[in-house]
Amino acid sequence: MIAETFGSQLPLPISLDEGATFENFHAAGNQAAVDALRQLAQSGGQRALFIWGGDGRGKSHLLQAGCRLASTSGRRAIYLPMDQAVLLDPQVTDNLDSYALVCVDDVQRVAGIEPWQRALFALFNALADKGGSFVASARTAPNAIKRLLPDLASRLAWGPVFQLEPLSDEDKIRALQQRAARRGFELPDDTAKFLLKRQQRDMRSLCATLDALDTASLIAQRRLTLVFVKSFLDKR
């Protein structure tokens, strides 16, 4: 699903990650956040929801999953990654109050950018007036984002606020094995443990490495054995 055009003239071409679904998210100790966002995406109810945590914990995955579920449930939804959006004029948000769900990712990117903060504050209020929902994510809790207007910080904390906890090593291995199974191959325990030792340990990096290994193994027509993985990583 590709993001729709904002306003009448300023498009923001964004594609949702095809793998960003609730079914593909290994919740572990974050089930409450997953359940709350799934419920909101399907049927609304909550006017606001905030998810925060360090990089690689799945915030972007969950927000995109929420947009995808809302869309398949017949509700208009849009995903707004602020690392890209802040490069545009804040007026691109003017018509977003017509959506049932707006998911604003990495909202800490607007810190110190007052025009964008005021635009998001106005969008939040307009959505609330029309019965829509505003979901946001950041690296920290709303009240810990520096250089944020108090009014916007207050709105961001208006609904439930969830902190995403990092996965344990065992959970990371299970998540990688589930991802491998969805791609049609097996990831042995020893190979998964080796990846954790040799690679950056956040799930974003681990998944990217796993996908690259899958492509390389298909080209070489080799199984994803420990020997093959060692050889592949040594050449990178």
Residues 206-232 have pLDDT tens digits of 988 999 999 999 999 998 888 999 999
Mean of pLDDT values over 12-21: 77
pTM: 0.87
Does 124 score more than 90 pLDDT?
yes
The band of 115, judged by pLDDT with boundaries at 50, 70 and 90, is very high
The band of 183, judged by pLDDT with boundaries at 50, 70 and 90, is confident
Q: What is the Cβ-side half-sphere exposure of residue 93, based on CA atoms within 13 angstroms?
A: 27
Alpha helices, DSSP H, located in 44-168: 59-72, 82-85, 114-130, 150-156
Does 167 score more than 50 pLDDT?
yes
Give the integer Cα–Cα distance in Å for 120 and 126: 10
What share of the chain has pLDDT > 70, as a percent? 94
Contact 82, 110 (CB under 8 A): yes
Strands in 71-219 per DSSP E: 77-81, 101-105, 133-138, 161-163
pLDDT confidence of residue 7 = 35
Pick the CATH number of 169-235 from 1.10.8, 3.30.1490, 1.20.1260, 3.40.1350: 1.10.8
Does 189 score more than 90 pLDDT?
yes
Q: What is the Cβ-side half-sphere exposure of residue 31, based on CA atoms within 13 angstroms?
A: 2
Query: How many residues are listed for the chain in this entry?
Result: 236
- Which residues, other chains included, contact 43 with Cβ-Cβ below 8 Å and sequence gap of 6+? 73
If one looks up domain 28-163 in CATH, what number appears? 3.40.50.300
Structure tokens at 86: 């802040």
Mean of pLDDT values over 133-143: 97
80 three-class SS = strand
Domain chopping of the chain, boundaries: 28-163, 169-235
The band of 202, judged by pLDDT with boundaries at 50, 70 and 90, is confident
